[in-house]
């Protein structure tokens, strides 16, 4: 069995994504109107079409941006190492778009949706398909758990919080699982 790994992984794309998210988060602390300007509201899509992408860079609080960027760094770095940065970016942005589309279908048309969670769930879904035996440590659980269990567990737990767009998480995760399945069938990957 042959395995393929993209050598010399540089986390440039991931670090750029994190930097842009942090800069926009800091900007929203000074100008809250940026949340409305860049956030995605399904009912306003025709007037503000850019928001279907820009909402992936807007976060509502320190915990929100920190959790997404922390997860993006670890899942994204591993996924980009396996499939390359271009394919990682494709999964990331398509996952964010898929999350927004599922939110349009299942969400509130007047709500403003923000955050990179759909894109991050896409990275987690793809990584889960490519590395089904991978173990991760989730705070406060003191022992490693399978990535698939962590992904499902986090999805379920977050779905019970108010003001959480579980629809975006679902759309991103499904896109990521499909992309991971596609990549797994097309190429051999390094097993951790």
- Report the pLDDT value the prediction gives residue 5, as an integer from 0 to 100: 52
Global pTM reads 0.88
Give the CATH H-level superfamily of domain 12-186. Rhomboid-like (1.20.1540.10)
Per-residue pLDDT of the chain (192 residues; tens, 9 = 90+): 343 555 544 568 999 999 999 999 999 999 999 999 999 999 999 999 999 999 999 999 999 999 999 999 999 999 999 999 999 999 999 999 999 999 999 988 899 999 999 999 999 999 999 998 899 887 777 789 899 988 998 888 888 888 889 999 999 999 999 999 999 988 764 555
Sorted by where each begins, the domain ranges of the chain are: 12-186
31 token code pair: 């100008």
- Report the pLDDT value the prediction gives residue 178, as an integer from 0 to 100: 98
- Report the pLDDT value the prediction gives residue 11, as an integer from 0 to 100: 61
């Amino acid at each position: 069995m042959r395995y393929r790994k993209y050598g010399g992984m540089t986390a440039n794309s991931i670090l750029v994504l994190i930097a842009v998210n942090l800069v926009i988060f800091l900007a929203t602390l000074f100008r809250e109107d940026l949340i409305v300007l860049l956030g995605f509201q399904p009912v306003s899509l025709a007037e503000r079409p850019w928001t279907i992408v820009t909402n992936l860079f807007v976060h509502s609080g320190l915990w929100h941006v920190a959790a997404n960027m922390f997860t993006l760094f670890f899942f994204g770095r591993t996924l980009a190492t396996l499939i390359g940065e271009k394919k990682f970016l494709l999964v990331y942005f398509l996952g964010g778009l898929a999350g927004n589309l599922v939110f349009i279908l299942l969400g509130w048309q007047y709500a403003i949706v923000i955050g990179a969670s759909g894109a991050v769930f896409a990275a987690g879904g793809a990584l889960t398909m490519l590395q089904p035996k991978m173990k991760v440590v989730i705070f406060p659980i003191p022992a490693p758990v399978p990535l698939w269990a962590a992904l499902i567990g986090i999805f379920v737990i977050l779905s019970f919080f108010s003001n959480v767009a579980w629809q975006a998480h679902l759309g991103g995760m499904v896109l990521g699982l499909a992309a991971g399945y596609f990549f797994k069938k097309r190429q051999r990957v390094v097993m951790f």
